[in-house]
Structure 1
Amino acid sequence: MNKIFLYAFVLAGLASCKGPSEEEKAQAAARTPADTVTTAATSVDLPAPYATESVTKRSKVIDWPAGRTPVVPAGFTVTEYAGSFNSPRWLYVTPNGDVLVAESNTVPTNPKKKVAAALNLDPSRSLKPTSANRITLLRDTNQDGKPDLRATFLTGLNQPLGMLVLGNYFYVANTDAVLRFAYQPGQTKITGPGQKILDLPAGGYNNHWTRNLLAAPDGSKIYVSVGSGSNVGENGMDKEKRRANVLVINPDGSGEQIYAAGLRNPVGMAWAPGTGTLWTAVNERDELGDELVPDYLTSVRQGAFYGWPYAYFGQHEDPRRQGEAPELVRKTVVPDVALGPHTASLGLAFYDQKAFPAKYRNGAFIGQHGSWNRSTFSGYKVVFVPFHNGRPSGPMEDFATGFIANEEGKQVYGRPVGLTVQPDGALLIADDAGNKVWRVVAANSGK
């Protein structure tokens, strides 16, 4: 059987069930007509639901040609920091400057996806039969911008993502639990047993297996992001307990509370420099058309509700949850910055150093993993949102592009995800499809 045909056959049943009828689409548009929402930094045009057909367009990853890199603005240089990873999805810089790379990926549970993974039929390289489940340490001992020590820091994990050093512990967020390990600054390998301090709900729609960690500025709490288990609650909201939330716990795992809810898939989390405000990048829902729903960057208020699954980008009711929770629709908070529909905006890092030009200082970089539910590719790049006095001060702009090789052929070289800023001011970009970590530096550091 032709491989392309076999791939299409195997994955044919993986999309959601039959879409709405034309009459249902018209009714949805009447209930939630086109709208323009003005936020602090942007004006966002929202078409009516189903204004365009829901489209599946998956990328085909091809290898980066020798000598080719992502494209960055004039005045910046990008180089390969390290390569030969197995899905390097997330990055963390330890207090002593080591870079930790979480290598993990989607593992199929659906029988059809298992077949696709086993036969290597997924051209996007997202679907693999197993996950590396490893954290790799990179150390640049002579400060020349290239790691000269590479070591396996921790293995035996279960789809790890978020990492954190707090006190004398190293924390890691598996897809199903938060673990902590005894840790001393500078060590290159975790050898002692880990302690599970928190169970987490596992599984999830597309890439919603990721769990991130962030410490409070004073170290008194740990924030844990948990994405939804579905696109829009189609499996029943009883399956979504403790999901689509940012949770908060004590460092020993006790005292769990829901910090904020209705966040479909919050992954990147960070504190805006000079403030006590938590921000997150949120991957929004699918199958309402090309331009719905925009992913977003937002500040996160304790006790706030951000809409999922009942409403989107403010009080716009999702037609698939029509009439179910009007009180939650009314209290839905409008997010701060629209990042484009279906971009898979996941990574988040505030620029808290001084090596980049002044316009970038204290602003936010977002890693956009790239679309599958849009007729033209969106995402597949790193974008930047300027900030002033702790608030967004303008719309997003492209920063690192060049990941798309040939849109007509659906070919991409890589897919950026996690981001981090090194102590010397360089920006690191995890490219989980290209199996590389890229490093961006400014030509005129400090200016």
Structure 2
Amino acid sequence: MRTIVGGLLASLALSVHGTSPPSGIQVPPGFRVETFARGLSQPTAMAYGPDGRIYVTESTGRVVAVTRGTTHPVVLVRGLRTPLGLVWRGSMLFVSEQGRLEHFVLSGGRLGGRHVIVKGIPFGEHQQDNVVVGADGRLYWGSGSTCDACRERSPRSAAILSLRPDGSDLRVVARGLRNPYGLAVQPSTGRLYASVNGQDKLGSASDPEPAEMVVAVKRGAFYGWPRCWPNAQMLRLSGHCAGVKPPVAYLEPHASADGVAFYTGRSFPAAYRGNLFVAEWGQYLSHRFGRRVVRVQLRPGHIARVTPFASGFAHPLALLVDRRGGLLVADWGRGVVYRIQAAGFR
């Protein structure tokens, strides 16, 4: 997100009441939306646990569990440092926080065995973001820059990191990524994709205001920040870009491209299968950019097609495909998880 340490922590004091279909959320013809869970406090990430519950991190420092119809989430952990990501590996839950990665063990419906496995990673304007399990069984972890545009002192900033589940063998996988917030493994290939927030204070509204982007993560690749940036108007890179690996998708400038999810369900029309959805958090005070979910149709060898999918959110942040094939959208601004489903499916 754009202002992860400042604006993210300010409460928007919005609420949703009742269980009827939410007003104001627009979806394409043939889809419908419902309130899946509410009562959350700035949800940042979601993942299914081994017990079938959905576990949610909140930027207020908690891990909670919800199911369909939840109005009072079950609080399992408190006192975390702005957790922005979580992932399960068996009964072990990994949580990404400012400067560190912790794990917990699920037993009897509770999370115990709390242990910090990595610490001391730099953070500043951005922090550590989502974490996923790769096809090779290692953890992959997004680490944002400490500034808008600068020379980082640590190679572990503005990068994607990889480590063993016990915290050992920490490596830098890819660099030049200002804030690689969202991570997702493509089921059909095992390839890792990341959503990346572009610079705030470079260029103008006409040219070449840095765009957000989606990248296919390649080991050892450099993605340009801070000397090269994506131009959404021209669908190309601008700046000093020798040796820079280009993105696979260009997104709206300043939209804050954050949570991502590949559609793995079977209830959406067939054309949606394998598509990547991206939550655009937007800006804290402006409604001009983002505040929607976009659909990214990846095309090998070509720039992806990006189209709006759902809008009307306060600040959508986390995405998850549920086990009935619906798309869950956690709205950080309203403390609500919405469920988007194809008409005729439940």
With normalisation by structure 1, the TM-score equals 0.67
The residue aligned with 1:256 is: 170
Q: Please state if 1:100 is matched with 2:55.
A: yes
Contact preservation (8 Å) 2:37, 2:71: no
278-287 or 196-205, which moves further after superposition?
A: 196-205
The residue aligned with 2:127 is: 209
Contact preservation (8 Å) 1:342, 1:373: no
Any idea what the Cα deviations from partners look like across 1:153-191, whole Å, max 9, x if unmatched? 22221111211111342111111211112234xx4321x
The residue aligned with 2:110 is: 189
Contact preservation (8 Å) 2:38, 2:70: no
| Whole-Å separation in 2 of the counterparts to 1:203 and 1:393 | 32
1:212, CA displacement in angstroms? 1.4
Any idea what the Cα deviations from partners look like across 1:41-63, whole Å, max 9, x if unmatched? xxxxxxxxxxxxxxxxxxx8865
Contact preservation (8 Å) 1:164, 1:213: yes
The residue aligned with 1:316 is: 238
Contact preservation (8 Å) 1:357, 1:445: no
Q: Please state if 1:417 is matched with 2:298.
A: no
The 5 A counterparts of 1:67-86 are 67-86=22-41
Contact preservation (8 Å) 2:83, 2:96: yes
| Whole-Å separation in 2 of the counterparts to 1:189 and 1:391 | 46
> Cα RMSD between the aligned structures?
2.5
Task: Look up the equivalent residue of 2:174 and give its one-letter code.
Answer: A
Any idea what the Cα deviations from partners look like across 1:269-307, whole Å, max 9, x if unmatched? 011121021100001101222251010111111100000
| Whole-Å separation in 2 of the counterparts to 1:422 and 1:343 | 25
The residue aligned with 1:438 is: 338
The residue aligned with 2:66 is: 138
Contact preservation (8 Å) 2:216, 2:248: yes
Contact preservation (8 Å) 1:315, 1:330: no
1:147, CA displacement in angstroms? 4.1
Identity %: 30
Give secondary structure in 1 for the equivalent of 2:113. Answer: coil
Task: Look up the equivalent residue of 1:164 and give its one-letter code.
Answer: V
Q: Please state if 1:177 is matched with 2:100.
A: yes
Change (3 A) 1:149 1:237: closer
Gaps of 5+ in 2: 1-5, 7-11, 231-235
| Whole-Å separation in 1 of the counterparts to 2:331 and 2:323 | 20
Task: Look up the equivalent residue of 2:152 and give its one-letter code.
Answer: M
Contact preservation (8 Å) 2:102, 2:117: yes
The residue aligned with 1:41 is: none
With normalisation by structure 2, the TM-score equals 0.86
Contact preservation (8 Å) 1:266, 1:281: yes
Q: Please state if 1:268 is matched with 2:154.
A: no
Task: Look up the equivalent residue of 1:134 and give its one-letter code.
Answer: R
Greater Rg over alpha carbons, structure: 1
| Whole-Å separation in 1 of the counterparts to 2:31 and 2:267 | 11
1:228, CA displacement in angstroms? 0.4
Whose helix proportion is higher, 1 or 2?
1
Query: Which residue, out of 365, 383, 399, partners 2:277?
Result: 365
Query: Which residue, out of 373, 376, 382, partners 2:293?
Result: 382
Task: Look up the equivalent residue of 1:400 and give its one-letter code.
Answer: A
Change (3 A) 1:244 1:399: same
196-205 or 64-73, which moves further after superposition?
A: 64-73
The 5 A counterparts of 1:119-158 are 132-139=60-67, 145-147=68-70, 150-158=73-81
Query: Which residue, out of 232, 237, 244, partners 2:152?
Result: 237
The residue aligned with 2:311 is: 401
Change (3 A) 1:261 1:189: same
| Whole-Å separation in 2 of the counterparts to 1:367 and 1:391 | 24
| Whole-Å separation in 2 of the counterparts to 1:347 and 1:200 | 24
Contact preservation (8 Å) 1:84, 1:435: yes
Contact preservation (8 Å) 1:345, 1:366: yes
| Whole-Å separation in 2 of the counterparts to 1:150 and 1:265 | 29
Aligned residues: 325
Any idea what the Cα deviations from partners look like across 1:72-101, whole Å, max 9, x if unmatched? 111111111112221112111224431111
